[in-house]
Structure 1
C-alpha cells in the first residue's frame, strides 16, 4: 500500500500533458474512428502513444537537465538570426493563434457535457462564460502544485467515466486485441489514422512538458521519476482514447458532428446512466484542455521572449487571459473560427516535424545534454517518428488546402 502511494506521489507534469491531448477534439476523432471502422484503428492510438511517450520524454529530459524551456534552448542553439527568427515566428504563430482557436473547442466540449448533465437548464446560454470563469480562477490563483492536484482529480474522473462506458457496451476482447496488434487500413481510413496520431502527438505539449518538469524536479537524479511519470500519464491518456473508440463502436450513431453526439447515441441502448458517464467525462476533458491550452501558450511566449517571473509574471498571465478570452468570445457570440483553426492546422502541420527534428538534434548535443544524450535505440525510434510526423504534417496541410 505504501509503495503504491509513493508511486502515486511521483505523478507530475505528465498528467497535465495527458489532460491536454485528451480533449473534446480527441473525443470527437476517436468517436468517428469507432463509428466508421470499429476496433480496426486501435493500433493507431497505440502507435501515437509510443511516439508521444518518446518525444515527451526527450522534451522533459531537456527541461530537467537544462532547467530552461524548450524555446530558450532553440534560441540558444540556432545561431543564424534568419533561421532563428523564422522558427520562433512559426512556433509563436502556431501555438498562440492555434491555442486561441482550439480553446473555443475545449470550452465548447465542456459546455456539451454540462448540457447533457443538466438538460433544458435556463443557464445554458451562460455555460461558456461560467466555464471560462472557472478556468480563469484556477489559472489566476493556482500554483503548479494546485493545478497538478486538480488535474489528477479531473483526469481520474474522465478516465473512470470513459472506461465505465466502454465496459457497459460489453465489447469483444478478441476483436480489441486484433485491432490493437494487427495494423489495418480499411478503405477510407487513412485520414482517420492521421487524425488519431495528430490529436495525440501535439507540438505545444512538448513546450508545456519541458517548462513544467523544472517546476517539480531540479536534479538529474530525478530523471527516472520523469520517465515513469511520462510513460504512466501518456498511457492513461491513451487508454481513455481507446475506451472512447470502443464505446463509439457499439453506439448506434452514424452522423457525428461533435463529441456530444455519442452521449446522445448511448442512451437508447444503455440507458441514462451511460449518457451521464459520457457527459461527465466530456465535461472533465473539456475543462482540463481549456486550462492547459492557455497555460501552454503562456509558457511558449515566456520562453520565446525570455520572461523570468514564472507563472506569476504579469505578461505570462496576460497571454493566457487573451487565449481564454478568445475561446469564450468565439462561443458566446456563436462565431465559427474555422479559418483560424485551419491556419492553426497548417501551422501545426509545419511545426510538428520541425520541432521533432530540432528536439532530436538538441537531445543529441553534448553541449546541451552532456552524458544524458540519446541512446542509439532512442535515436533510431526518434528518426522514425520524425519521418512519420513529416508525412503527417504534409497530409494535414494537403487536407486543409483541399
Structure 2
C-alpha cells in the first residue's frame, strides 16, 4: 500500500498544520469521554500498572491507522466498501452489526458525559445539556458541508491540551513513573485482563479505522486536484508523505493525552485510595477535593471539548460502516437527499445515543463492555485489513511495505492475545 512513508517532513511549501487532517482528528477523537472514563478507571484501579501499555501500543496504533488511511486513499473507497467487494457478506454484516452496537453505546456514554461535565461546571439539568450537545453535533454534520466542517473538528483537537494542563497543576513524582514504564507493576488476574482489553479496545478501535479511511475518501471527493492513487499514481509521493505525517502526529498526540489521563488518575485517585471510578465526570469530581478546583475544572472542560469532537466521529463512522456494508452512497460531502441511507444511519445512531440516556441501562457498565466489545471486534477487522493491504488485486502497486506489515500484524496479534487472555482468565 505504501511503498515509502516519509515521516518528519511536510509537503514542500505547505505548513505542517495543513498536513494534519484525518489522522489528527482520528487520534484526538480516540480520547473521547468514554476513553477518558476507561483511562481514569485503569489509572485509579491499577495506578501506574498500565502506563506501559500506552507506550507499547503507540507504534501499533500508528501502523494500523496508516493502513486504514492507505486503503482509503489508494482505492478511493471506505473499509466496508472494500470488504464487501472481496469477502463474504456474512462477515461484513457481522462486523457492521458489532460496530453499530458498540458505537451507539459509546455515543450514549459520550453524550451523557458531556451533560454531566457541564452540570459539574455550571449546575443545571445534565440531561438537557446532553441532548443539546447531541443535537448540535447532528445539525452540524447534516447541514454544514464537509469542507467547512472538517476545520471545526481540527480546532476541537486543541481541547485535549486540558489534560496536559491538568498534569501541570498536580504534583507528580516522575521517578516512580519512569520506573513503572521500565518494570511495569503488573497484576495478572481476570480484572487486569479485562481492564487491558478495555484499554486496548479504547485505544485501537474499529470506528477509528472506518473513520480515517472514509475521511481520506472525503478529501479526495472534496478536492478538484486529487484522485485515488490507483488512478493517479504520480500523486503517491506527496499523498503518502502527508498520510505519514498526519497519522504519526495524530496517534502520538492521542497516546500522550491518554498517558496523562491515566497518570492523573494514578497520582491523585489511586494514591489516595479512590480506586473505583465509574465515569469521566466522576473522575473529574473526585479530583476537586484531592487536587483542587483548577485541576477539576480543566479535566471537566476537556470532557466537553473532546466530546464535541468524538460524537460526530462516532456517529459518522457508524454511518460510513453501514453504508459501505450495504453498498449505499456515503459521505458528508453529499446532500441528505443524495445519501439517504447514510444520513439515516447517522441520525438513528445519534438519536439512539440520546435515547439510551433516558433508559435504566447502566451507562457505566455498558461503556466498559463496549470497549471490551471493540477490543474483540477489532481482531477480525484488522485481519481483513491486513489481507487487503497486502493484496495487489486491491492495492495495485501500493501494497504494504514490510515495516507496516510487521507492526500491523503485531497490532493484530496483540489485540487477539489480550482477548484470549480475557476469556481464559474469566471467572478466576
> For residue 29 of structure 1, what is the aligned residue in structure 2?
38
> For residue 56 of structure 1, what is the aligned residue in structure 2?
65
- List runs of 5+ in structure 2 lacking aligned partners: 1-9, 221-225, 227-234
Would you say 1:104 and 2:108 are equivalent positions? yes
Residue deviations 1:170-226, cap 9 Å, x none?
A: 212223333334444135433322222121000121111111112225342301101
Q: Distance in 2 between matches of 1:346 and 1:41?
A: 16
Q: Distance in 2 between matches of 1:397 and 1:293?
A: 27
> For residue 126 of structure 1, what is the aligned residue in structure 2?
128
Matching residue within 275, 286, 289 for 1:254 = 275
Residue deviations 1:223-278, cap 9 Å, x none?
A: 11011101101111111111111111222433311111221222223322111111
2:32 and 2:307 in contact (8 A); partners too = yes
Cα 1:11–1:342, aligned 2, differ >3 Å: closer, same or farther? closer
Q: Distance in 2 between matches of 1:74 and 1:343?
A: 26
Would you say 1:304 and 2:311 are equivalent positions? no
> For residue 284 of structure 2, what is the aligned residue in structure 1?
263
Count residues with an aligned counterpart: 393
> For residue 399 of structure 2, what is the aligned residue in structure 1?
373
Compute the displacement of 1:109 (Å). Answer: 1.4
Which stretch of structure 1 is more off in the superposition, 138-147 or 58-67? 138-147
1:98 and 1:340 in contact (8 A); partners too = no
2:72 and 2:213 in contact (8 A); partners too = yes
After TM superposition, the structure 1 = structure 2 runs for residues 1-400 of structure 1, keeping only pairs within 5 Å, are: 6-78=15-87, 84-119=88-123, 121=124, 123-157=125-159, 159-186=160-187, 188=189, 189-217=192-220, 218=226, 219-221=235-237, 222-251=239-268, 252=272, 253-308=274-329, 310-311=331-332, 312=334, 313-336=339-362, 348-395=374-421
Residue deviations 1:270-317, cap 9 Å, x none?
A: 322111111100111222222111100111122122223532322211
Cα 1:51–1:326, aligned 2, differ >3 Å: closer, same or farther? same
Q: Distance in 1 between matches of 2:176 and 2:364?
A: 37
Q: Distance in 2 between matches of 1:75 and 1:392?
A: 27
Cα 1:375–1:341, aligned 2, differ >3 Å: closer, same or farther? same
2:198 and 2:369 in contact (8 A); partners too = no
> For residue 223 of structure 2, what is the aligned residue in structure 1?
none
Compute the displacement of 1:393 (Å). Answer: 3.2
Compute the displacement of 1:324 (Å). Answer: 0.4
Structure with greater helix share of residues: 1
* TM score, norm. by length of structure 1: 0.89
The secondary structure found in structure 2 opposite 1:381 is: helix
Cα 1:186–1:344, aligned 2, differ >3 Å: closer, same or farther? closer
Q: Distance in 1 between matches of 2:180 and 2:420?
A: 26
Q: Distance in 2 between matches of 1:179 and 1:28?
A: 22
Aligned-pair RMSD on alpha carbons? Answer: 2.6
- List runs of 5+ in structure 1 lacking aligned partners: 79-83
The secondary structure found in structure 1 opposite 2:203 is: coil
